[in-house]
Amino acid sequence: MSTDTPDAPADDTPSRAELAARVDELADALAEATDDDDTKKMSIIATKGTLDMAYPPLILASTAAAFGYEVTVFHTFWGLDILHEEQSKNLKLSSVGNPNMPVPNAVAALPGMDRVTTKMMERKIEDNDTASIEELLETSLDMGVEFQACQMTIDLMDYDENDFYDGVTTGVGAATALQDMADADIQLLV
């Protein structure tokens, strides 16, 4: 009996060389699939620009960054105002449409009421030592959070790319956001 290993057996059985090549291929695929899985990722889509709704994405982004997550926040429509250097300092709180407001809608709809409720909220934020939107944004940027400004909405709102905070990524669209969401462990729409 021969001690040689038959190299090319009959029928469809793959050869040893073919099997070895397939094993290498699978080992590579496995390494690739498990490689960058160590870093957790979070993807947030921020669509709102009122003072109250600007907080959740920034609080979650900075907190996730503290947990070591790689965070991307894609800002679209009114969410763009959070990244806009000037607008971000003037975010408003709507007095209508919120049944928890201490005034009835009929009164809340009067001219100037949004300014009143916004001032009220701003004072509460200050009294409570809650971080400002600007502070949360700067902190998140320092921690490596990637803020993206949707190009389509920049054009739609007639904003200039230079209106945004330094470090904000422009020139991105839905496909970029989708790719981020597909790669992320946590995806949120705010």
Contact 180, 43 (CB under 8 A): yes
d(CA 80, CA 87): 9
Q: Which is nearer to other proteins, 51 or 65 (CB)?
A: 65
User: According to the binding rule CB under 8 A, does residue 65 interact with other proteins?
Assistant: yes
Binder of other proteins out of 43, 50, 62, 88 (CB under 8 A): 62
Window of 25-33, 74-82, 124-132, 181-189 that interacts with other proteins by CB under 8 A: 124-132
Binding mask 67-86 for other proteins (x = CB under 8 A): xx------------------
Catalogue the E-assigned strands of 38-185: 41-46, 70-75, 146-150, 169-172
Let me know how many helices (H) and strands (E) the chain has, helices first: 7, 5
Q: Cβ 43 to other proteins, closest distance in Å?
A: 18
Contact 72, 146 (CB under 8 A): yes
Two tokens, residue 97 = 């449409």
Point out which residues bind other proteins (CB under 8 A). 59, 62-63, 65-68, 128-131, 136, 139, 142-143
